[in-house]
Amino acid sequence: MSTSPADPHLPAVHLRPPRNWINDPNGLVFHDGHYHVFFQYNPHGPQHANMHWGHYRSPDLLTWEPLPVALAPTPGGDDADGCYSGNAVSVDGRMVAFYSAHRNDRWWQPVTTAESHDNGHTWVKRPHLLIPEPPVGTTMYRDPYVWRQDGRWRMLVGSALDDGRAAAQLYESDDLEHWTYRGPFHSSDAATTEGPIGWECPQYATFGDHGVLILSDWTPQGGPSHTTVVTGREKDGRFEAAASPVPLDHGPDFYAPALLRVPGEDRWLMWGWAWEARDEAWAHETGWAGVLTLPREVSLTADGTVAQRPARELLALRGPRILQGTGHATRHEPIEIGQVGHTFDLTAVLVPDTTGTSGLRLITSTDGSEYLDISLDPTAGRLVVDRDHASPDARARGGAYTAPCPTAKRPNTPVELRVIVDRSIAEVYLADEQVLTLRFYPSTDGPWRLQARTTGSGRSEFAVAAWNLAAQDIRKESQPARWAAQSV
């Protein structure tokens, strides 16, 4: 990972190679004392093509080491046009990667595997597809997710059905080699013009007898859309939802998250893909596109809400506190809180003015014309993140995005925020529960500063602290694709 000032938008602490394209996190697994994170990777350019599996590992979620590219397409093989998304497991001293074998002349992506017996440095592909054909009645089929539950191996595969519904298909196995199809684990309601056509990258986490099913919505017209989460319970091999699907992340730039249960702990980690929010030509000029989010801890609250917060290990990235301020702001008197770096971690407690929107403004230009607004709307009971003025370049996307915040409606009630900004990505956490992820592209290399503001006729109270973040030992470059897995 590069932190060169030559590109001020290249993230410093978020995981990605220094150049070229990445998308979905894949194969999250803890093996031999290390967290392994794989991802969709094009080693040849900043566009979605030539899909390989890039690979990093870490003993602590802080120091990351690039390993050789794990999977590469085999010319003329079942994955000749791409090693697409999947996951991995650690078993009997080896890692087994399950992935989608892509060919342009086949509409479905069969499930296949590769194994590593040397901690991920080299991989050997199986000679034949693991699951060569999709179930009857499917029109899309890809992205296996394998986990062990109650002494058996289970697999979900994302799909679309010929009646217009989306589905996550369930398989089971005793040995990882022979799989029995059990039918749809969960499916969407009858298709509507607004509903998803297919589900990509299904992920499943259990919390006691409750389950959390994460689904990435895909349509043939628009491609990847957004990610939803459904809570409920499993009964007789079927997942029964306890509530309607809700957004997993409320931002516009989050998709295809992947889960990992920490061994020996009742803790789930999650990474997601934050795509670019700028013109493709601009990304091509800079030579890179896509970034993985920071690892998040995912939990289930007593009321059935899926909560997220930054992984606790990330606190170690903080340097000395650079900013601390308390006070109140009025419409006529915004308060300058202080300067921050371009990669920082911020905590805030806000008591919003009930007569208007109140919050923080991250100002990224000396004249104040560039800024990212993070505010609370007590009338609507929501968090609002507005990037319309964050990137003066017309090739960057704008827009204001919201997350529910019922607490903001209660007068004199504090609202807690945590905001992690890394050059061109912001992850905004609301009370360690809701999250909103977006990309933005400031044009300045100068100092950034924070301001407290309100549009109401009263006053907004705030207490803010911030720390600049420093990347730990992240080595510069992954190995070339020539080290990719070989078929046997």
Q: Length of the chain in residues, anyone?
A: 488
| Residues pairing with 462 in the sheet | 327, 350
Cα separations (Å) of 35 from 88, 97, 263, 335, 455?
12, 14, 10, 42, 45
CB contact at 8 A, 1 and 476: yes
What is the count of structural domains for the chain? Answer: 2
Given 272, 297, 313, the domain boundary residue is 313
Domain boundary among 313, 346, 371: 313
With left for phi above 0 and alpha for psi between -120 and 50, is residue 388 left, alpha or beta? alpha
Report DSSP state, residue 73.
Answer: -
How far is residue 305's CA from residue 296's CA, in Å, rounded to a whole number?
A: 15
Cβ atoms < 10 Å from Cβ of 102: 20
Helix H, strand E, coil C: the string for 351-389 is ECCCCCCEEEEEECCCCCCCEEEEEEECCCCEEEEECCC
The partner residues of 459 in beta bridges, in order of sequence, read 330
- Domain identity same for 438 and 303: no
Measuring CA to CA, which residue among 27, 32, 122 is closest to residue 84?
27
| pLDDT, tens digit (0-9, with 9 covering 90-100), for 284-339 | 999 999 999 999 999 999 999 999 999 999 999 999 999 999 999 999 999 999 99
Residue 306 has a pLDDT of 98
- 483 inside domain: no
Phi, then psi, of 140 in degrees rounded to 5: -150, 145
105 lies in some domain: yes
Tens of pLDDT, residue by residue over 232-284, are 999 999 999 999 999 999 999 999 999 999 999 999 999 999 999 999 999 99
- In this structure, the answer to whether residues 304 and 322 fall within a common structural domain is no
If asked whether residues 418 and 293 sit together in one domain, one would say no
DSSP 293: P
Q: Report helix, strand or coil for 296.
A: strand
459-469 and 448-454: which strand pairing?
A: unpaired
Q: Is residue 488 part of a domain?
A: no
- Let me know whether 186 and 119 are in one domain: yes
Q: Look up residue 322 and give its two tokens.
A: 């650079």
Neighbours of 63 (CB within 10 A): 14
Report d(CA 379, CA 460) in Å as an integer: 14
Number of C-beta neighbours around residue 44 at 10 A: 12
- Do 241 and 264 fall into the same domain? yes
CATH number of the domain to which 455 belongs: 2.60.120.560
The 3-state DSSP class for residue 49 equals coil
The CA radius of gyration of the chain, in Å to the nearest whole number, is 22
Tell whether 96 is covered by a domain.
yes
* Cross-sheet strand order for the sheet of 288-289: 65-66, 52-58, 34-42, 20-31, 288-289
**Alpha-carbon distance 29 to 91, whole Å?**
10
Compute the C-alpha angle 84/299/224, nearest 5°.
30
Considering only CA atoms, which of 57, 87, 64 is closest in space to residue 11?
A: 64
User: Does 76 map to a domain?
Assistant: yes
**For the residues of 125-182, what is the DSSP string, one character each?**
E-SS-SB-SPPTTEEEEEEEEEEEETTEEEEEEEEEETTS-EEEEEEEESSSSSEEEE
Whether residue 270 is found in the same domain as residue 378? no
Domain identity same for 207 and 118: yes
Q: Please give the pLDDT value at position 352.
A: 97
Are 322 and 440 in a shared domain?
A: yes
- The verdict on 322 and 191 lying in the same domain is no
* 408 φ/ψ angles, rounded to the nearest 5 degrees: -65, -20
* pLDDT for res 193: 56
Are 349 and 270 in a shared domain? no
Question: Residue 257 sits in a domain of what CATH number?
Answer: 2.115.10.20
CA distance 158 to 160: 7
The helix/strand/coil state of 83 is strand
pLDDT (0 to 100) of residue 446: 86
Measure CA of the first residue to CA of the last residue in the chain; give whole Å.
Answer: 32
Task: Output DSSP code: residue 396.
Answer: B
302 C-beta neighbours (distance < 10 Å), count:
5
Low-confidence ranges of the chain (pLDDT < 50): 1-5, 476, 478-488
Task: Tell me how crowded residue 175 is: count the other CB atoms within 10 A of its CB.
Answer: 9
**Same domain for 327 and 201:** no
Residues 6+ apart with CB under 8 A from 415: 349, 350, 351, 352, 376, 405, 407, 408, 430, 431
Element containing residue 286 per DSSP (H, E): helix 280-286
- With beta carbons less than 8 A apart as the criterion, state whether 88 and 106 touch: no
Q: Verify that 302 and 336 share a domain, yes or no.
A: no
User: Domain containing 300: what range?
Assistant: 20-313
Are 245 and 306 in contact by the 8 Å Cβ rule? The answer is: no
Domain-ending residue, one of 293, 313, 333? 313
What DSSP character marks residue 341?
A: -
